[in-house]
Each structure stands twice: as structure tokens, then as C-alpha cells.
Amino acid sequence: MALGQATQDATYDKPTEEAFADVQKALNMIGQVKNADKVTLTVEGTSRYGLQTVKLKVKITAQGDISALSIRGFSDDVWAAGAKNCIERLLEALDNLGNLDYEPSKTGMKPIALVLRVIGFILILLVIMVFLANLPKWILGVVAVIGFGLLAYFLIARTKFGKK
């Protein structure tokens, strides 16, 4: 499985036609539908997790009187936290389609959690910058070369094994 990708299979207690419509409704509750193909029973869309956009693909197949859902999420973080969160929220939205009191999360996290994560990230960067400023110049060069090498590696890997 590629970096940032999560997959989950689930069953849905309705026939494929109803499941197809319900998946679109649920995805619109947490994000937006980009493409819905009734022939292949595939729904594609996006949702948010914090500041990143997560792509979701749902393939619906018949299993007798019920439907099987194969959900794939593609996020920008290495651990696929965004993809896992969006898949979880999509399934939660599907379970609560008839519940008028249900209010889905549009970003997958509370605003205060997002603000605290951004502040924490900035503080960590500041600490690293202070630490690096006190190192000899040749070490800074080595760190910069390694950093650019990793950046190039991940950019090449993303284009080669990109999110489909």
C-alpha cells in the first residue's frame, strides 16, 4: 500500500442502487462528490482532514440483497491518518443518514485541535532552527543535502507511485 493510502471494506444493508445513492449523500455530508459512475458503481470525492484534502474512492458491489463497499482513501500524510479519518467519517455518515440530529464533522478535527497542532509545529520548527544555528557550517550543509535528497525522493516517489 502506498504512503498516505488507507483501505477499508464494509457491508451495507441495502441493494446496490440504494447504496450508490446513499454513498453520494454521505460523501456530500463530509465533503463533496467529484465523480459518480452508475455503470461501474464507483463514487469518487474529496473530504478534509485538518488542512489537507483527502481523496476518497468507493466501489460498490452486490452481495445478494446487500452491498459490499470497498473504500480507499488517499491523504498527504505518511501515516494515512487523514485517509483513515475520512473513511471513518464516511461510514459514520452512512450510518446516520436518517438521523436529523446528526451533524458530521467537515474537517475531521475540532478547530482548537487544528490551531494547537499548527502552533506546535511552528514551535518545533523554531527549536530546530535555533539548534541548527549553533552547529558548524559544514554540518548545516550535510543536513541541507540530506533534506533536499529526501524531498527529491518523495517527490519522485509521489509522481511514480502517485495517488490514483
- In-domain check, residue 106: no
Q: Model-level pTM?
A: 0.74
Provide the CA 149 distance to its chain's centre, in angstroms.
26
Whether residues 115 and 91 fall in one domain: no
Q: Where in the sequence is the domain holding 140, given as residue range(s)?
A: 111-160
| 124 in the same domain as 88 | no
Paired residues of 45 in beta bridges: 33, 56
Q: What's the mean pLDDT in 116-142?
A: 86
The answer to whether residue 43 is domain-embedded is yes
pLDDT at 162 over 70: no
Helix, strand, coil shares of the chain as percentages rounded to 5?
A: 45, 25, 25
Is residue 100, in this structure, part of any structural domain at all? no
- The number of residues making up the chain comes to 164
Classify residue 143: in a domain, yes or no: yes
pLDDT digits (tens, 9 = 90+) for 28-69: 999 999 999 999 999 999 999 988 899 999 999 999 999 999
Beta strand segments in the chain, E: 5-12, 31-37, 42-49, 52-63, 66-74
DSSP state of 39: T
Give residue-wise pLDDT tens across range 79-115. Answer: 888 999 999 999 999 999 988 898 888 888 888 888 8
**Residue 76 CB coordination number (10 Å):** 19
Nearest to 72 by CA among 54, 91, 90, 57: 57
> Are 90 and 13 members of one domain?
yes
